[in-house]
Each structure stands twice: as C-alpha cells, then as structure tokens.
Structure 1
C-alpha cells in the first residue's frame, strides 16, 4: 500500500508567510485531509527550524499525519520526525539510510529515469519528480516533461509524487497520470480556505 493513499502532499515554504499564519493554515489543511506534510524552512536558523519543527510535529501528531523534514537530516533526527526528503545535492541516500532509523521515511528528488532508478536501488521510499510546471517557490527548478514523468513511473515500483507549479487549475492533468500523490505549496497555503482546497485536490484522485 502506498504511504500516500492517493492524498495530497503538502510542502511548506517559509518565504510565503510568517510562522503563526503558516501554522494556522497547515492545521486547516490537515483537517482537509493532507496525507503527508513536508516541513521546509530555507531561511531560518537551525534553532528556529528546530523550534518550529517541534510545533509542526505536535500538530501532525494531532491529525495522525506523517511529518517529513526537507533536506535537514539533523533536524529530522532532533525532533524525531517521521522522515526526511533529500535532493540530489543533499546528503547521499546511502549515508542517510545508515543514520536514520530503518522505520523512517526517506524521499528523494529525481528528474531523470537514471536518478529515479538509483534512488529506488538505494532504498528510497518514494520519489519526488519535478518540476512538472514552472514554479515560483524554486527558481532553479528543472522542468520535467510529461513523457519523462511517465517514463519514471514505468521504470520504478516505489511511489511517485509529482511536484512543482501544481495549482488547483492544472492538478487534474497531472493526477491523470495515475501517480501516487501531488506535492503542493501555494495551491493550499496560498488559498483563503486551505481546508477546502485540500479537499478539492484529494477529490481529484477519485476521478482517475
């Protein structure tokens, strides 16, 4: 069974809003049915990241949703998160596997079949593929074509999560590829009603 259960994967971004507002919107999204939450803080100090991470962890526990920490294996360990998501320039997956508890989730970013197969071989639990659309939250993101997304999906057996520029308007076109989840930021956190937006995105999975 997929760890996503055909539900949306929420990724936070500390450049969008202050933490108190983020916390409120994350809770509404969790109420709407977020299946997995990735906590990402690019601008915060380690101390602040840790403090905010503890608060987000408590919130995720309240709604029984796994918490993944972006990039920072040390923060993931410090707050005993459910896992970590690593990019191609982060700590190697093989090293992370030696450090983390075997029960923890490790996701890997990949935008080619080769990197996806390598991630699967080395024990990744899921692969984040993107950016599938241009995105404002990651200016250096490399666009992945729908053909490449399909090729990666065919090549690996672990769950695939599409990420990058996914909105309420274009989400259905990606979900139609029958991937395991979509990872979004502003499609939920940028909405006036994050709970309603989450429910809408989750409902799209029932249509494919």
Structure 2
C-alpha cells in the first residue's frame, strides 16, 4: 500500500491537481493532514478532496479532526499518539495512530487502533535535527504487534526497496509527492517498486 499524506504548504502545484495526479500514479490511500485549518475550513477542503477520491474509489482518511471525518463519512480517522490515548475515540471506520516507539505501538494496538504510522524511518527535512528510527525500528515493530505498520519519513525511490524488504504493510510519503513538479511520475516510480516486490498483493489487510 502506498499512502499520500498531504501538506498544502509545500505544494509546488495546484493542491487538488497533485492529489488527482498522485492517484493516477498509484496512490492507494490519502491522509488529509492540514492541521492548521479550523473545522469549517478543513470541512470545506475535505469535501472537495473527497470528490476526487470518490471518483477513483480511493479511501480518504482525515487527520486530527474527528468531527470532519464523521461529517464527510471518511474511510478513516488518524491522530497522534498523545491524542489517541487521551481520548476514547469511537469511529465507524478505520482509526490510525502516529507512533514513535515500540511501547506506543503496543498501547495503540491494545486500545483498538487499526494501524500505526511509524516514523520517521529515514532522514527527512520534515524532521530536521531528529535522528531517524531506521529499519530496525520496523523490524522490532513487526515482532511486537500484529496490526498493519505503515512506514513514513524520507522515503523515496532510492531507499524504498530497503523498507519494502522488511515486508512492511505499507509506506507513506509527504514531501516526495506534495513538493514534486510531476506527482504522477514520482508516484508511479514508487508504486512500481512496490509492485516489483509484492506483485499484485498490496500487502495490507484492513
């Protein structure tokens, strides 16, 4: 599975065009992560994005705002670890959580998360000054939890095979596609790597 995590602030092209071109290139799911928007503005944006994702039958996951996720009947709701353990979220769909340690992953699984977004795996400008978790982090997670693990952080065409070889459930990218001048091509290249390793099996079950 190949996820796109959005960030309109780093977009080099029209935001909606990037989303549509990335879907055409092979994105499987989209996490709409525009945390600076108020509920009203995020709802407006989500409605427009969902028109695109529905057109291509691509699941849309809303980050951080449960009300918006419920309002548009999104496929899923995603949040950070602290937010997840502080609230007893109930959602009629998939719930994902961003985690940065093995202990966090264990707790999320026990509390009912459907998947974890684990990172950052490689060096990335989004986390300047913070050392990456590396591939051992993924390997340890796989030994510890049974829910799907999605890797994020600095993933591109030069290192994607390294993380795919851990047999991870999926990978997520932000800047590699959001800041791309050709999101279709850059997405297609990543998707080709996934298909070469996993074949027709997208490897994620939920």
TM-score range, shorter chain: 0.7 to 0.9
Residue of structure 1 aligned with 2:190, choices 166, 179, 201: 201
TM normalised by structure 2 equals 0.87
TM normalised by structure 1 equals 0.86
How many residue pairs match? The answer is 197
Q: Which residue of structure 1 lines up, in the alignment, with residue 71 of structure 2?
A: 78
Unaligned runs of 5+ in 1: 1-6
Structure 2 CA distance for partners of 1:166 and 1:64, relative to 1, 3 Å: same
Residue of structure 1 aligned with 2:100, choices 111, 115, 121: 111
Pairwise CA RMSD of aligned residues? 2.0
Structure 2 CA distance for partners of 1:67 and 1:141, relative to 1, 3 Å: farther
How far did 1:117 drift? Answer: 1.5
Residue of structure 1 aligned with 2:175, choices 161, 168, 186: 186
Residue of structure 2 aligned with 1:162, choices 140, 151, 155: 151
Q: Which residue of structure 2 lines up, in the alignment, with residue 4 of structure 1?
A: none
CA offsets 1:138-170 (integer angstroms, 9 cap, x no match): 558663232122100121111110011212222
Unaligned runs of 5+ in 2: 198-206
Q: Which residue of structure 2 lines up, in the alignment, with residue 26 of structure 1?
A: 19
4+ long deviations beyond 6 Å: none
Is 1:8 equivalent to 2:2 in the alignment?
A: yes
CA offsets 1:71-105 (integer angstroms, 9 cap, x no match): 111221122211111111224386113xx12xx01
CA offsets 1:84-134 (integer angstroms, 9 cap, x no match): 11111224386113xx12xx0111112222211111122111111101123
Q: Is this contact kept in 2: 1:131–1:143, CA < 8 A?
A: yes
3-state SS of paired residue (1:206): helix
Q: Distance in 1 between matches of 2:177 and 2:170?
A: 14
Q: Which residue of structure 1 lines up, in the alignment, with residue 162 of structure 2?
A: 173
Structure 2 CA distance for partners of 1:17 and 1:127, relative to 1, 3 Å: same
